[in-house]
């Protein structure tokens, strides 16, 4: 159990960053450690097993693996009812449905809506009264405001510790939007001032008593205190933003980068807001709370009613017949199949549209790259994958192009590609490419991406049974370690990777120029791209060092066609 006494605002689950990452880790925990005690030794063994798995991201083992294991399992997985750790490790009914990967949006919605403060897992604060179901109120706020930004979540939504403060928080956001229109100072200065004002209000007691110590810092200064609290609030807002998107009840407005109610889920949201009690439930014991939390069927959604399901299925496909005799579970599967068709059509229609090279679409791609560089998107790694995919689709002449990231019902990117797949796969007919992108920098870039990129390239070569394959590796800035690694790997014959790899690193600015040249010069022959990629690899074979090779790649982009 954890006390809320040290919390002055709502908190999000910052580990894992996206809910879907829970799935393979819980599956591994269930397969290898089910029925065992959750103690330090088990935690170390679990993390060591996880570290060796194909889906673990990173090459560096933490100095405290037991702590790393607890960080992954005792936060979101436990709080959302997917795992029971006492008296022994057991997946709950909700956890079993989760790892089946069947109707993920439904199980995420149910478990997030059950999360409440206080609860037997999070006992009441002795300084402020928590009385809220955070994800329910966030959904309500999005509905009533029309949309909400990640910044507004950080500044204001986190203050919604009691559902009775809903109008107070809503009015704060509306007032902020008016002040934003009237500001006469830079955006950065304006936002900084807003954070200072809100932090002074939230942490008034600590500030007037000069209690500036934080867990993250022992420097007792007001400035450091403000900076740390702002960073924490932004991290929590990021977590709420990502987790509420996992429900697919909301989507992102591609122009404003705000989250809004998905048009296709309006009825679902209305049902939730009208039927789920805003008051946190009271439980006489931890056991009674767990009985409620662990059972997905203890909370009903719009789609749990057979008649509503049938109506929704028929609205999506008039050709559906004889479905009245089906069970609710069968009908839900039918609905998922129809929604998957809808997603696939969004994607295929988007590819066709992008290949037309309309000015609005091209400008939107350039604008999105600028937003990513200026940190104006809510999830930069995801939107970089999506926008690079759009750029390659717009370059045209692909036989097949597949972004392995996940789309939502409105055709917007929902989650990055899983760790066991490349970000983007392209078949040009005569040769194939994979595209790997990252927002990471420095040593982290090499630790997170180095081995996985090489592994994905090797998987492609093994699948093709020939080496007419290339890999673009794109990052805002290429780390020295990454350049050196790919420079040397390309020169070595490695059986696992199908021989010598052909990985071409490119910083984001260079890729944007690569894309611009391709559009302006009206790229039309895939052999030109193949020859250019092959030439960059041949330069690699003869270059004296990685810096010379990398500069050669950059210098050649202006004339790749």
For the segment 64-118, what is each residue's pLDDT rounded down to a tens digit? 999 999 999 999 999 999 999 999 999 999 999 999 999 999 999 999 999 999 9
What six digits make up the tokens of 420?
Answer: 């066991």
Angle at 443 between CA 438 and CA 446, to 5 degrees: 50
Location of structure tokens 């039918």: 334
pLDDT for 470 equals 97
Burial 474-483 (b: 16+ CB within 10 A, else e): bbbebbebbb
Q: What is the tens place of the pLDDT at every residue in 254-280? A: 889 999 999 999 999 999 999 999 999
pLDDT for 218 equals 60
pLDDT for 217 equals 60
Percentage of the chain lying above the pLDDT 90 cut: 81
pLDDT for 295 equals 98
Q: Domains of the chain: which residue ranges?
A: 2-287, 302-340, 357-559
Q: What topology is assigned to 2-287 in CATH?
A: FokI Restriction Endonuclease; Chain A, domain 1 (3.90.241)
Integer angstrom CA distances of residue 17 from 6, 124, 215, 410, 417: 23, 26, 21, 22, 14
Q: What is the tens place of the pLDDT at every residue in 382-417? A: 999 999 999 999 998 889 999 999 999 998 999 988
What six digits make up the tokens of 544?
Answer: 């004296």
pLDDT at 182 over 70: yes
Angle at 150 between CA 410 and CA 157, to 5 degrees: 115
DSSP 20: G
**Length, in residues, of the chain:** 561
For 351, counting Cβ atoms within 10 Å of its Cβ (0-12 exposed, 13-18 middle, 19+ buried), the class is buried
Instruction: Identify the CA nearest to 486 among candidates 502, 470, 467, 508.
Output: 502
Residues near 269 by beta carbon (within 8 Å), at least 6 away in sequence? 139, 143, 249, 261
Helix, coil or strand: residue 403: strand
DSSP 416: P
Under a CB-based contact definition with an 8 Å cutoff, are residues 8 and 202 in contact?
A: yes
Q: Which three-class secondary structure string do you get for 347-373? A: HHHHHHHHHCCCHHHHHHHHHHHHHHH
pLDDT at 215 over 70: no
Beta bridge partners of 402: 425
**Distance between the two ends of the chain, CA-based, in angstroms?**
62
Under a CB-based contact definition with an 8 Å cutoff, are residues 10 and 132 in contact?
A: yes
Please report which confidence band the pLDDT of residue 555 belongs to, taking 50, 70 and 90 as the band edges.
very high
pLDDT for 216 equals 57
pLDDT at 162 over 60: yes
pLDDT for 140 equals 99
Residues near 521 by beta carbon (within 8 Å), at least 6 away in sequence? 561
Q: Can you tell me the mean pLDDT for 11-32?
A: 92
pLDDT for 250 equals 98
Q: Can you tell me the mean pLDDT for 283-297?
A: 96
Check residue 72 and give left, alpha or beta (phi > 0: left; psi -120 to 50: alpha). Answer: alpha
Beta bridge partners of 433: 426, 470
Q: What is the tens place of the pLDDT at every residue in 499-549? A: 999 999 999 999 999 999 999 999 989 999 999 999 999 999 999 999 999
Instruction: For domain 357-559, give the CATH number.
Output: 3.40.91.50
Helix, coil or strand: residue 39: coil
Beta strands 259-261 and 400-403 are unpaired
The Cβ-side half-sphere exposure at 191, using a 13 Å CA radius, reads 13
pLDDT at 37 over 70: yes
Q: Can you tell me the mean pLDDT for 147-174?
A: 98
Q: Can you tell me the mean pLDDT for 447-473?
A: 89
pLDDT at 418 over 90: no
Integer angstrom CA distances of residue 19 from 275, 294, 342, 438: 25, 17, 23, 19
Name the packing angle between helices 65-73 and 22-33 (round to 10°): 110
Under a CB-based contact definition with an 8 Å cutoff, are residues 471 and 502 in contact?
A: yes
Instruction: Identify the CA nearest to 467 among candidates 444, 445, 493.
Output: 493
Count of H helices and E strands in the chain? 23, 13
Instruction: Identify the CA nearest to 176 among candidates 199, 156, 160, 192.
Output: 156
The rounded distance, in Å, linking the Cα atoms of 269 and 340 is 20
Q: What is the tens place of the pLDDT at every residue in 349-374? A: 999 999 999 999 999 999 999 999 99
pLDDT for 271 equals 97
Give the chain's mean pLDDT: 93
pLDDT at 320 over 80: no
| Dihedral sign computed on CA atoms, order 7, 11, 16, 21 | positive
Integer angstrom CA distances of residue 153 from 160, 172, 257, 378, 512: 10, 11, 13, 11, 31
Please report which confidence band the pLDDT of residue 1 belongs to, taking 50, 70 and 90 as the band edges.
low
Location of structure tokens 């984001």: 508
Residues near 39 by beta carbon (within 8 Å), at least 6 away in sequence? none
Beta strands 400-403 and 424-427 are antiparallel
């Amino acid at each position: 159990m954890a006390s809320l006494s040290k919390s002055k605002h709502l908190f999000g689950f910052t580990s894992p960053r996206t809910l879907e990452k829970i799935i393979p880790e819980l599956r591994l925990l269930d397969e290898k450690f089910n029925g065992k005690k959750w103690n330090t030794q088990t935690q170390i063994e679990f993390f060591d097993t996880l570290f060796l798995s194909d889906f673990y991201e990173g090459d560096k083992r933490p100095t405290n693996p037991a702590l790393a294991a607890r960080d992954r399992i005792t936060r979101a997985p436990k709080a959302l009812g997917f795992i029971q750790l006492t008296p022994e490790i057991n997946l709950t009914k909700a956890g079993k449905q989760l790892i089946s990967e069947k109707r993920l949006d439904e199980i995420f919605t149910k478990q997030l809506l059950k999360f409440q403060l206080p609860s037997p897992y999070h006992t009441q604060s002795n300084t402020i009264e928590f009385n809220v179901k955070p994800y329910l109120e966030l959904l309500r706020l999005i509905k009533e405001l029309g949309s909400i930004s990640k910044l507004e979540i950080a500044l204001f939504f986190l203050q919604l510790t009691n559902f009775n403060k809903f109008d107070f928080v809503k009015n704060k956001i509306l007032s902020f939007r008016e002040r934003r229109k009237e500001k006469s100072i830079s955006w950065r200065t304006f936002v900084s001032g807003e954070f200072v004002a809100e932090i002074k209000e939230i942490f008034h007691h600590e500030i007037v008593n000069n209690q500036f110590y934080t867990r993250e810092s022992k420097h007792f200064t007001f400035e450091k205190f403000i900076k740390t609290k702002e960073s924490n609030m932004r991290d929590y807002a990021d977590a709420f933003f990502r987790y509420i998107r996992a429900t697919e009840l909301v989507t992102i407005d591609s122009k404003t980068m705000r989250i809004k109610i998905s048009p296709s889920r309006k009825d679902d949201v209305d049902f939730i807001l009208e039927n789920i009690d805003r008051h946190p439930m009271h439980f006489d014991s931890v056991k009674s709370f767990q009985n409620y939390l662990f059972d997905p069927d203890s909370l009903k959604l719009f789609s749990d009613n057979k008649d509503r399901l049938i109506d929704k299925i028929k609205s999506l496909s008039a050709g559906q017949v004889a479905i009245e005799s089906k069970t609710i579970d069968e009908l839900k599967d039918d609905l998922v199949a129809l929604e998957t068709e809808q997603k696939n059509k969004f994607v295929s229609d988007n590819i066709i549209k992008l290949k037309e090279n309309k000015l609005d679409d091209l400008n939107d791609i350039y604008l999105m790259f600028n937003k990513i560089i200026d940190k104006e998107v809510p999830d930069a790694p995801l939107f970089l994958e999506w926008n690079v995919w759009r750029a390659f689709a717009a370059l045209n002449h692909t036989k097949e192009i597949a972004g392995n990231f996940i789309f939502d019902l409105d055709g917007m990117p929902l989650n990055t590609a899983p760790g066991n797949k490349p970000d983007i796969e392209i078949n040009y007919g005569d040769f194939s490419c994979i595209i790997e992108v990252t927002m990471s920098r420095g040593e982290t870039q090499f630790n997170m991406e180095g081995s996985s990129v090489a592994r994905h390239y090797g998987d492609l070569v093994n699948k093709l049974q020939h080496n007419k394959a290339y890999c673009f590796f794109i990052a805002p800035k290429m780390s020295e370690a990454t350049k050196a690694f790919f420079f040397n790997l390309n020169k070595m014959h490695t059986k696992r990777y199908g021989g010598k790899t052909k990985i071409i690193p490119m910083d984001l600015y260079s890729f944007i120029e690569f894309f611009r040249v391709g559009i302006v010069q009206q790229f039309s022959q895939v052999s030109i791209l193949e020859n250019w990629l092959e030439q960059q690899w041949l330069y690699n074979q003869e270059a004296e060092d990685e810096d010379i090779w990398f500069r050669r790649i950059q210098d050649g982009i202006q004339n790749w066609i």
